[in-house]
Every structure is written in structure tokens, then in C-alpha cells.
Amino acid sequence: MKNFECTVCHNREGKELLLINKPDRFEVSIGVSARGYERRWVECLECGTVNNVLPDDSLNRIAALRSAYYEVDFQGSDVSQKYELVMSLPPDQSDNAGRVNRVISFCERWFENRSNFKVMDIGAGTGVFLSRLVDQTDGKWDCLGVEPDPRAAEHLKRIDKFRVHEGLYSGGADFVGFNLVTLNKVLEHIEHPEPFLRDVVESLDSENGIIYIEVPDTMTIDLRPPNDNILGALHCHLYDPRSLSNLLHMTGLSILSVARVADPSGKLTVYAFAAPTQAIMRKEFPHE
Ligand SMILES: [Zn+2]
């Protein structure tokens, strides 16, 4: 299709998977016109990433909104109320419970020594993930939540379960030496994920660090209604196991595990654990 460029691999050949012809609630809130509106989800024929191709009118306005996601998403509702509600869900109804179990059991297998274990969650949001992680590891892991939205960050400081950095994650010397960095439903908000992930790799402990990433699944297009929140204007990409693996590989990471999961909330998710290739080469595995 014309005028397509994949924002992950810059290939220009794409296949349209879905056409949406009216602005979503976020676009309506910033005055994007419904007249002649066309937004497309386009699969890159090279790397397989599905790109959200916005009309120019919307693209120009939505950039600011993407970095202040919670401003609109929590409109009229209180972050703390949402936190209490989600924390009270029974484990079989909670996306976060499954996520926390997955992360802990993987880390227990991968890291022989988990003393002074440092965790950073980028885009901590309501803090449910880190709270459950802290609870289930008896507070033994040193956890940092990074959250740009001031209201969400204030809420995170108030619950006082882990350290909080209020602001956008920017990489660099303030964020180094982590054994585990988690990105739960964050990467799809970032238009150019490769340079971002390169910074994240620099935040890992160079000998003993892994990344856990969750992104929305391409299959959302086939299996969920077109007005699903995941298919809205704020999200830049959808992934499948191959395209997520490609992206991680581009940033110098090796895949340790990649899979699809249908979350209790109905979300279709692809997740991966990955580590810097050089670190894996030096890792000593126990042998018989
Ligand atoms: Zn591509």
C-alpha cells in the first residue's frame, strides 16, 4: 500500500489488515474531525509488526496524548480506586496475578542467586503489578516503579510498597544495574521502539539481567471488535511472537521465552523474556 513505512524496520511494503473510519474517544477528546477519517492497521511485510497508520490530522495532535496516557484514561475515575479494585480481584480474574506468577517462576529458574535482586517496572501505572510482586517475594526484591503521569506517581508514592521515579524513563546513569526490567503494555505506546529498547538494555546488570515485555497481540484484529481499546489511536503497534522476537533481536537481545496468552480480562497478549546475547554467552549453566 501507498505511503507506508514501518516504524520498526523502515520497510515500505505493507498489507492493510483493518480500516477504521471514525475517530476513537481519545481523538474525539482532542478535536479530530470525523469527516473523511481513515485509520489503518497495516502489517509490515518484512518484520511482521502491525503499524497503526493515522491520518495526518490525528497524528499531529495525538503525539502529546500518547505520553500522557493516564490523563485521559483515568478521566473521571481515581487511580487509587482502580488500584483497590484490581488488587481485590481473585487471582483467576486478574491479568496481573498471572503476570506476576509468570515473572517470579521464570526468575527463580533463571537466576541462581537472587540476593540484592533489582527490579525496574517502566510505566508502573496503578502499581498493581509491582505491589503483587513485592508481596509474593516477601519484600526481598528491590523494586523501582517509573511513572510519568503525576497523579499515578503520587498514588504510587502513597501506597509506599516500592521506590517511585516520577517522570518518563530516559535511560542513562540514573537507571543502571537492574536484574529485571519489566515493560507491561508500554512498548505499543512508543512509536520508535528500537532506540527505546536499546536504552533499556543499557539499564540491565551487564552480567545478570533480563527483560520481560508484554505487548498486545496482532490476533486482536481478528478476534476482538474493531472498537476494542487496544485498536485505538494511542497504540502504535501490534505484535506476534515473530515480530516481537525480531524487534528484540534488533536490539542485541536473545529470546529466552516467547508466547501468546489470553488474559482473564479478554486481552490477547504476546510476552517475552530476553537477555543480552553477550551475557548469555558468559552465563555459567550448572551441568551434571
Ligand atoms: Zn517492519
**211 Cα: distance to centroid of ligand 1 (angstroms):** 22
What distance in Å separates the CA atoms of residue 218 and residue 223, rounded to the nearest whole number? 9
The sign of the dihedral angle between the CA atoms of 107, 109, 110, 113 is positive
What distance in Å separates the CA atoms of residue 132 and residue 219, rounded to the nearest whole number? 28
> Which pLDDT tens digit goes with each residue over 98-139?
999 999 999 999 999 899 999 999 999 999 999 999 999 999
Count Cβ atoms below 10 Å from residue 140 Cβ, excluding itself: 10
Domain membership flag for residue 29: no
Domain membership flag for residue 38: no
Cβ-based neighbours of 169, under 8 Å, separated by 6 or more: 122, 123, 146, 148, 175, 199, 200
Domain membership flag for residue 19: no
Domain membership flag for residue 288: no
**7 Cα: distance to centroid of ligand 1 (angstroms):** 7
What distance in Å separates the CA atoms of residue 240 and residue 215, rounded to the nearest whole number? 9
**193 Cα: distance to centroid of ligand 1 (angstroms):** 12
Taking the model in full, what pTM does it have? 0.94
Count of the separate structural domains present in the chain: 1
Pure H helices in 160-267: 193-202, 220-223, 241-250
**223 Cα: distance to centroid of ligand 1 (angstroms):** 23
**214 Cα: distance to centroid of ligand 1 (angstroms):** 19
* 273 to 39, 43, 96, 137, 141: CA distances (angstroms): 32, 24, 16, 19, 18
Domain membership flag for residue 241: yes
> Which pLDDT tens digit goes with each residue over 234-255?
999 999 999 999 999 999 999 9
Domain membership flag for residue 167: yes
Domain extent, residue 245, equals 77-218+234-282
Q: What is the pLDDT of residue 72?
A: 47
What distance in Å separates the CA atoms of residue 1 and residue 14, rounded to the nearest whole number? 6
**43 Cα: distance to centroid of ligand 1 (angstroms):** 8
**154 Cα: distance to centroid of ligand 1 (angstroms):** 37
pLDDT at 286 over 90: no
Domain membership flag for residue 4: no
Domain membership flag for residue 37: no
Q: Is 183 exposed, middle or buried (CB count within 10 Å of its CB: 0-12, 13-18, 19+)?
A: buried
**Domain of residue 278, CATH code:** 3.40.50.150
